[in-house]
Amino acid sequence: MTYSVAVAGASGYAGGELLRLLAGHPEFEIRTVTGHSSAGRPLVESQPHLRSLARLTLRETTPEVLDGHDIVFFALPHGASGDLTGRLADVRLAVDCGADHRLADPADWAAFYGGDHHGAWTYGVPELIVVGADGKPGRQRDALAGATRIAAPGCNASTVALSLAPGIAAGVIEARDIVSVLAVGPSGAGKAAKTHLLGAELMGSANPYAVGGTHRHIPEIRQALRNAGARDEPAISFTPVLVPMSRGILATSTAQIAPGTSADEVRAAWEAAYADEPFVHLLPEGQFPRTADTLGANTCLIGVAVDEAAGRVVVVAALDNLAKGTAGAAIQSANIALGIPETTGLSTNGVAP
């Protein structure tokens, strides 16, 4: 079967990565691309690497243009998609890569974003462990099967949630004292011109931002860890650092080991969680990932160590913010929602060196 697809925000970074992946998907046909300031211009002016889509012209981002497609992917600034998604009458599956439908609690939305809260959609991180109403652990992919509205994750949020959910669900780490420090590439901040993202500001420098509990992905991580069965309210100190690589996230997260837990039990929690996952891979003991090994891939690589002296578990995770962090997660989740094999159109292999 072929599904007709529209991508809103197709001139941006997330939209470009969606299109790169969708162009190789055997069951999706890209019919419509939309932009904002670039509407009316050829797509390849904004996305010169997408030569196979040179036929496409960016249209205005309106409900009328988007309605009637089987699938619409939104890659708009937060706030912009929420205004549009409620006005779609005839779209089988909508996937929002922005934040507008990620947070279930309106108070979280008000505290970290502000403006209208548009309600939570099914969260698009299939591998996440979620504890059901019956107290039994399942996977987020169970909720995605048959979904018609999906919220793709924040790239930093999904990296940290995938890092820690196995330990939380197994009860081998504490949720109340988590520290995450992330090296992140500037493509995570989008294509719009900003002074602090200029090459002159970034090259040869590592620049922390949103320090001190202000980053917008914090409530999303707490929500995911709560859903993974955290016994205590998750508390996370979260510090991202911009580094001079265009794509990629390397997240180092540490958490206290639960009393009485052995190093073997810690490792077993992550092994059991990801043994059968096609896109989330636990590295052998003593090995830790590099962002370079995930670029362009829908893959998250994870290394786990026990720091006995500090009484903490250290989890290092790498992924490509535009691939597994956004567009890959969106397409993987759409595959599940439509009953297509989950890995369709997605690669586990990165681009190296």
Ligand X SMILES: NC(=O)c1ccc[n+]([C@@H]2O[C@H](COP(=O)([O-])OP(=O)(O)OC[C@H]3O[C@@H](n4cnc5c(N)ncnc54)[C@H](OP(=O)(O)O)[C@@H]3O)[C@@H](O)[C@H]2O)c1
Q: Which residue, 120 or 282, is less far from ligand X as judged by CB?
A: 120
Which are the contacts of 247, defined by CB distance < 8 A and separation ≥ 6?
185, 187, 291, 295, 320, 321, 322, 323
179: phi then psi, degrees, rounded to nearest 5 = -125, 125
155 is catalytic: yes
DSSP characters over 168-197: HHHT-EEEEEEEEEEEE-GGGG-SS--GGG
Q: Which residue, 2 or 214, is less far from ligand X as judged by CB?
A: 214
Strands 236-242 and 300-307: unpaired
Question: Hunting for tokens 């914090």 — which residue is that?
Answer: 218
Tell me which residues in 325-344 interact with ligand X (CB under 6 A).
325-326
Buried b (16+ CB within 10 A) or exposed e, 46-56: bbeebeebeeb
| Residue of minimal Cβ distance to ligand X | 12
Q: Does 141 bind ligand X (CB under 6 A)?
A: no
In whole angstroms, how close is the CB of 297 to ligand X at the nearest point? Answer: 15
Tell me which residues in 117-136 interact with ligand X (CB under 6 A).
none
Q: Does 80 bind ligand X (CB under 6 A)?
A: yes
Q: Contact with ligand X (CB under 6 A): which of 19, 22, 56, 76?
A: 76
Q: Contact with ligand X (CB under 6 A): which of 9, 167, 229, 303?
A: 9
Q: Does 322 bind ligand X (CB under 6 A)?
A: yes
DSSP characters over 102-154: T-S-HHHHHHHT-S------EE--TT-EEE-TTS-EEEHHHHHTT-SEEEPPP
Tell me which residues in 180-209 interact with ligand X (CB under 6 A).
187-188, 190-192
Q: Contact with ligand X (CB under 6 A): which of 35, 126, 296, 328?
A: 35
Q: Is 85 helix (H, G, I), strand (E, B) or coil?
A: helix
Question: Judged by CB under 6 A, which stretch of 32-40, 141-149, 160-168, 285-293 contacts ligand X?
Answer: 32-40
Q: Contact with ligand X (CB under 6 A): which of 6, 20, 21, 38?
A: 38
Strands (E), the chain: 3-8, 28-35, 58-60, 71-74, 93-96, 122-123, 129-131, 137-139, 149-151, 173-184, 207-208, 236-242, 249-257, 280-282, 300-307, 312-319
In whole angstroms, how close is the CB of 204 to ligand X at the nearest point? Answer: 22
Q: Which residue, 185 or 234, is less far from ligand X as judged by CB?
A: 185
Tell me which residues in 150-169 interact with ligand X (CB under 6 A).
154-155
Tell me which residues in 239-278 interact with ligand X (CB under 6 A).
none
Q: Does 98 bind ligand X (CB under 6 A)?
A: yes
Q: Active-site residues: which are they? A: 155
Residues that bind ligand X (CB under 6 A): 9-15, 35-38, 61, 75-78, 80, 97-99, 154-155, 187-188, 190-192, 321-322, 325-326
